[in-house]
Amino acid sequence: MFDFTPVDAGRWIAASGIVASYAAFCWHQFRQSRRGAKAPITQGVATDTEPILIVYASQSGQAEAIAKQTAQALSADNRQIHLRRIEEDWQAEASAARCVLFVVSTYGEGSAPDHALRFVQANLDAGIQAKLQGIRYGLLALGDRSYPAFCAFGRQLDAWLQASGARPQFERIEVDRLDAEALSSWQQQLSTLSENAPSSWTAETQDYSPWQFVERQCLNAGSPGSPIFLVVLQAISDDTPQWQAGDLVDILVPQGDGYPRAYSIANLPTDGRIELIVRKHIRDNGQTGLASGWLTEHAQVGDQMELKIRSNPGFHLQHDISRPLMLIGSGAGIAGLRAHLQARAKAIEESGNPAPQRNAWLFFGERSGRHDHLCKLEIEEWKRSQVLTKVDMSFSRDDPVTPYVQHNLLARSKEVCEWIESGAQILICGNAKKMAPGIDKALRSILGSQQVDLLMASGRIRRDVF
Ligand SMILES: Cc1cc2nc3c(=O)[nH]c(=O)nc-3n(C[C@H](O)[C@H](O)[C@H](O)COP(=O)(O)OP(=O)(O)OC[C@H]3O[C@@H](n4cnc5c(N)ncnc54)[C@H](O)[C@@H]3O)c2cc1C
Ligand SMILES: Cc1cc2nc3c(=O)[nH]c(=O)nc-3n(C[C@H](O)[C@H](O)[C@H](O)COP(=O)(O)O)c2cc1C
C-alpha cells in the first residue's frame, strides 16, 4: 500500500524549508558512512524491499511537512511507504514494516501536539507498553530550546518505544527551531535506508520567496496594551500564492537573526495579498521584538522580506455551514479567526441558501472596549449578515464579572453545552500561555474532561495558539 502521492509531496517540499545547501555535504557524509561509519545502534539496516512506516505528530505543520518530505525522499526507489498520524492504528503495520520513522514536535509546556492526545493518554500516561519487539525505529524530535521542556514529547516517546521493545536504528535527533544541522543528520540517516534519498531530497528547494511590505493600520489606537496592527504584504513573483484559512506564514525580516517568525494568516487569498494581525512584542528588557518590531514599526512601503506560506492542517476546517461553529480567541488571535470567518462568509455566499441553519458564535477578548475592539466594523457586518449569529466580547479593563473569554464561556455554560450537543466545532486562536489554558479549564468544567478530550482527539476542537 502506498498512500502518499508525489504531487502532494512536491507541494510539501516546496512549502517546507529544508536545507538545500546541506545536500552535497549529506551525500558526502553518506559516502563516508558507507565506507566505515559508526555502526547503527541496532544491527543491520532495512533492506530495500522492506516497507517503511512514517508516524508523525505535529501541531503547526512543521513535523507533518518533514514527515511528508521524508516519505517522498524514501519513495525514490519504489519502496512502500506508509504515512500515519500518531493516533492512528499504526502498531500492527509497524511489525510488518520493521522500520518505523517518527517525526514529532512538542507543544504547550512539554506536551504532545493536540491530535496526539488519545495516543498519549492510552499509552504513555497509562504506562501501557506496546508489543514492538524486533522493530527498529528512528526518531526526529522537533522543538525549541527557549522552552524549558526541550523536545519533551520526543524524549518521552523515545523512552516508551524502548520500553515497548523497539530498538533505535540511530540515536534520537533533536531539532532546535528547525536547525539545518540536525535536519541534515536526519537526511543522512535516511540515506542509509534508501540509496536514492539524498538526491530526491534536494530536488526542491524553493521555499521562501521575496514579498514586499504594502501597508499597516493600527487596530487599537490608545490601547492600554501594546499596539496591534493589520499588516498587508504582497508577493513579488507573478505566481498567485494559495493558502486556506488556518494557514501560517514564516517570515525572515531583513537584518534579522536568521530565525523565521510565524504569523497566522488573517485573510483568504482573494487578491494575492496576505494580511496579518501583528502585536508589537516588547521584550522583558523593554526592547521591541525583532520581527514584530519590523512589521509594525520599521518596514516602509516596498521593503522586502523573505516569506513562506506554511500549511497548518491542525487549524484547517471544512466549512459546513449547517454545522454550528464557535470561534474563541483574544488579542492577535483574531487573525486566525478572521480568516475562518471570511471562509464561512464565502461558504454561505456560495451555498445560495438564503436561510440556512448556520449558528456561529464568536467569543473574543482584549483589554478595553473603547480601544481594543479589534475588527469591530467587520464583526458588526458579519453579525448583520448572519455570518455570526452570536458575539460575546470580554474586556478585562471594563468588566470585573466576565473579564476574560473563559469567564464568558462559563457564564454561558448551558448554551455552550447545547451547541456542543448539536455538533458544534470549536476554533481557538491566540495566547498559549494564559488564554489557552484558561479556555481549556473552562471547557473542561462545562463539558467534562472526557468530552473535551474526545473533542480534541476527533478534531472538533482545533487550536492555533502561540
Ligand atoms: C503558530 C504561531 C502563530 C503566530 N501567529 C501570530 C499572529 O498572528 N500575530 C502575532 O502578533 N504573533 C503571532 N505569533 C508570534 C510571533 O511568531 C512572534 O513570536 C512574535 O511576533 C514575537 O516575535 P519578535 O521577533 O517580535 O520578538 P523576538 O525578538 O523574537 O522576541 C521574543 C522573545 O524572544 C526572546 N528573545 C529573542 N531574541 C532575543 C534577544 N536577542 N535578546 C533577548 N531576548 C530575545 C525574548 O524572550 C523575547 O521576549 C505566532 C507564533 C506562532 C508559533
Ligand atoms: C505555544 C508553543 C509551545 C511550545 N512548547 C514547546 C516545548 O515545551 N518544548 C519544545 O521543545 N518546543 C516547544 N515549542 C516549539 C515547537 O516544538 C517547534 O516550533 C516545532 O518546530 C513545531 O513543530 P510543529 O509545527 O510540527 O508542531 C512550542 C511552540 C509553541 C508555539
Q: In this structure, what are the phi and psi dihedrals at residue 338, rounded to the nearest 5 degrees?
A: -60, -45
Whether the predicted pLDDT of 27 surpasses 50: no
The one-character DSSP state at 53 is E
Distance CA 132, CA 129 (A): 9
Distance CA 287, CA 269 (A): 34
Using alpha carbons, select from 253, 318, 263 the residue that is nearest to residue 462. Answer: 318
> Is 367:279 a contact under the CB 8 Å cutoff?
no
The whole-chain average pLDDT of the chain stands at 88
**Any idea which fold 209-313 has?**
Elongation Factor Tu (Ef-tu); domain 3 (2.40.30)
Record the pTM.
Answer: 0.90
Which atom from ligand 2 is nearest to the alpha carbon of 145?
Answer: 11
Q: Is the shortest distance between the CB of 293 and ligand 1 below 6 Å? A: yes
Whether the predicted pLDDT of 237 surpasses 50: yes
Which atom from ligand 1 is nearest to the alpha carbon of 228?
Answer: 11
> Is 419:324 a contact under the CB 8 Å cutoff?
yes
For the chain, the domains span 6-201, 209-313, 317-465
Distance CA 234, CA 232 (A): 7
Whether the predicted pLDDT of 416 surpasses 80: yes
Instruction: Give the Å distances, CA to CA, from 276 to 192, 227, 247, 264, 301.
Output: 42, 14, 11, 7, 15
pLDDT at 202: 44
| Domain 317-465, second-level architecture | 3-Layer(aba) Sandwich (3.40)
Q: What percent of the chain has pLDDT over 70?
A: 87
pLDDT-wise least confident of 43-57, 90-104, 180-194, 287-301: 43-57
Whether the predicted pLDDT of 20 surpasses 90: no
Structure confidence at residue 1 as a pLDDT band (50, 70, 90): very low
C-alpha cell read off for 64? 507533518
Q: Is the shortest distance between the CB of 332 and ligand 1 below 6 Å? A: yes
Class of domain 6-201: alpha beta
CA of 444 to the centre of ligand 1 (A): 29
Using alpha carbons, select from 163, 188, 164, 185 the residue that is nearest to residue 174. Answer: 185
Assign 446 to helix, strand or coil.
Answer: helix
pLDDT at 352: 85
pLDDT tens-digit readout, 356-382? 678 999 999 999 999 999 999 999 999
Q: Is the shortest distance between the CB of 263 and ligand 1 below 6 Å? A: yes
Structure confidence at residue 264 as a pLDDT band (50, 70, 90): very high
Average pLDDT of the residues in 254-264: 96
| DSSP H helical ranges for 52-171 | 62-74, 91-97, 117-119, 152-163
Distance CA 94, CA 56 (A): 13
> Is 421:405 a contact under the CB 8 Å cutoff?
no
Structure confidence at residue 193 as a pLDDT band (50, 70, 90): confident
Q: In this structure, what are the phi and psi dihedrals at residue 86, rounded to the nearest 5 degrees?
A: -65, -25
Which atom from ligand 2 is nearest to the alpha carbon of 178?
Answer: 21
The one-character DSSP state at 301 is T
CB atoms within 10 A of CB 104: 26
CA of 260 to the centre of ligand 1 (A): 9
User: Which positions ≥6 away from 217 have C-beta within 8 Å?
Assistant: 229, 230
Residue 248's identity, in one-letter code, is L
Average pLDDT of the residues in 30-57: 56
User: Nearest ligand to the C-alpha of residue 464?
Assistant: 1
- N-terminal to C-terminal alpha carbon distance within the chain: 37
pLDDT at 48: 58
pLDDT at 376: 97
The distance from CA 233 to its chain's CA centroid, rounded to whole angstroms, is 21
pLDDT tens-digit readout, 123-172? 999 999 999 999 999 999 999 999 999 999 999 999 999 999 999 999 99
pLDDT at 201: 52
Distance CA 100, CA 46 (A): 10
Whether the predicted pLDDT of 2 surpasses 80: no
pLDDT tens-digit readout, 287-314? 999 999 999 999 999 999 999 999 999 9
Q: What percent of the chain has pLDDT over 90?
A: 78
Whether the predicted pLDDT of 199 surpasses 70: no
> Is 152:106 a contact under the CB 8 Å cutoff?
yes
Q: Is the shortest distance between the CB of 107 and ligand 2 below 6 Å? A: yes
Q: What is the largest CA-CA distance in the chain?
A: 71
User: Nearest ligand to the C-alpha of residue 261?
Assistant: 1
Distance CA 267, CA 353 (A): 24
User: Nearest ligand to the C-alpha of residue 149?
Assistant: 2
The residue ranking higher by pLDDT, 355 or 163, is 163
CA of 172 to the centre of ligand 2 (A): 17
The residue ranking higher by pLDDT, 38 or 231, is 231
Q: Is the shortest distance between the CB of 60 and ligand 2 below 6 Å? A: yes
Residue 36's identity, in one-letter code, is G
Whether the predicted pLDDT of 232 surpasses 70: yes
pLDDT at 198: 54
pLDDT at 19: 40
Which atom from ligand 2 is nearest to the alpha carbon of 58?
Answer: 26
Provide DSSP, 108-160. Answer: TTTBPPGGGHHHIIIIIITTPPP--TT-EEEEEEEE-TTSSSTTHHHHHHHHH
Average pLDDT of the residues in 180-204: 76
